Amino acid sequence: MTLPTLTLNDGHSIPTLGFGTYPLRGEPGVVAIRTAIDAGNRLLDTAFNYDNEGAVGRAIAASGVPREEFYVTSKLPGRYHPYEAATNAIRESTWRLGLEYLDLYLIHWPNPIEGKYVEAWQALVDAREAGIVRSIGVSNFTLEHLSAIEAATGVRPAVNQIELHPYFPQEEQLAAHKELGIVTEAWSPIGKGSAVREEPVIQELAARHGVSPTQLILRWHVQRGVIPIPKSANAQRQAENLDVFGFELSDDDVAAITALGRPDGRLFDGDPNHHQEM
Ligand SMILES: NC(=O)c1ccc[n+]([C@@H]2O[C@H](COP(=O)([O-])OP(=O)(O)OC[C@H]3O[C@@H](n4cnc5c(N)ncnc54)[C@H](OP(=O)(O)O)[C@@H]3O)[C@@H](O)[C@H]2O)c1
């Protein structure tokens, strides 16, 4: 199967659905990532801090799928925001993955209390110039953080990966991204196995469309123009999570799912203005 793609503001294409790899590590991690690839996943989302770039690289190498068919993303940890450290970490990520280049590199969290994310962004801009990464973006950036990096460097991120699921639909941030031409990726897209799948409206709409609650939620993301990156260690659920392109939600269905949103809908205290992740 070939996944549909979106075009980023730098002209590169990205699959409309991806596979989250946290916390798949070691030999069992390689096996799970292999089955995810066999099922048809090509966008693989990892991070320096997941301690599994090696496992992801090994699964890619063992898959027999040509490198150019993959879309590999990794992320820069907070402790490596200073320019020199960031430059080294990006290179280290490619070595750990065993790849010549990465398709997308993100700043994992802005860590505004440390206040070094503009330097980190400059390192990503330069890594793109050097051809080590094809596209660059951020994760967990507020609109204020986005405008700070663009003002300092003149370069707008291609992607912002944020917490986004029916309990936290991020309507304002999503609208702002669309205005800016930034593609949104959703982390914990199905609410990390939380109660969201049990919500009556999710159950009812899933039954009406003849799909699982998880497929319904993933389709909601796709129709909102958001790239979900669900994680599953299970081959059957991995295949289920890719099978979301054969049905269509109405505008009312999309609105009913979005209406599950609530101000305190974050899964943990992950407000990017305060959360520090080194
Ligand atoms: N940028 C960031 O700051 C950030 C933060 C968090 C996560 N992420 C990324 O986002 C990815 C996904 O987020 P996440 O892992 O937190 O949450 P998630 O993908 O919303 O949920 C994963 C959970 O759902 C279960 N699951 C998956 N498919 C299912 C299905 N079809 N039916 C029932 N249960 C299912 C999984 O269990 P099984 O494995 O047993 O199937 C797992 O417990 C991560 O892997 C990571 O790559 C990024």
What DSSP element (H or E) covers 39? helix 26-39
CA 19 to centroid of ligand 1, rounded, Å: 9
Nearest protein CA to atom 39 of ligand 1, as residue: 232
What DSSP element (H or E) covers 6? strand 5-7
Cα torsion for 82, 185, 68, 91, to the nearest 10°? 10
The domain locations on the chain are: 5-258
Cα(149)–Cα(154) distance, integer angstroms: 8
Superfamily of domain 5-258: NADP-dependent oxidoreductase domain (3.20.20.100)
Report in angstroms the alpha-carbon separations of 137 from 127, 173, 213: 12, 15, 30
pLDDT tens, residue by residue, 126-138: 999 999 999 999 9
Nearest protein CA to atom 21 of ligand 1, as residue: 192
Q: Output the CA angle 148-16-104, nearest 5 degrees.
A: 45
Cα(128)–Cα(100) distance, integer angstroms: 13
Catalytic residue among 50, 71, 80, 117: 50
Question: 0.85 exceeded by the pTM?
Answer: yes
| Ligand 1 pocket, residues with Cβ under 6 angstroms | 20-22, 45, 108, 139-140, 161, 187-193, 214, 229-234, 237, 240-241
Note down pLDDT in tens along the chain; length 278 residues: 789 999 999 999 999 999 999 999 999 999 999 999 999 999 999 999 999 999 999 999 999 999 999 999 999 999 999 999 999 999 999 999 999 999 999 999 999 999 999 999 999 999 999 999 999 999 999 999 999 999 999 999 999 999 999 999 999 999 999 999 999 999 999 999 779 999 999 999 999 999 999 999 999 999 999 999 999 999 999 999 999 999 999 999 999 999 999 999 999 989 999 999 99
CA 191 to centroid of ligand 1, rounded, Å: 7
Ligand 1 pocket test, pick from 74, 184, 188 with the greatest ligand atom count within 8 Å of Cβ, gives: 188
Cα(147)–Cα(129) distance, integer angstroms: 21
Cα(32)–Cα(34) distance, integer angstroms: 5
| Catalytic-residue membership of 50 | yes
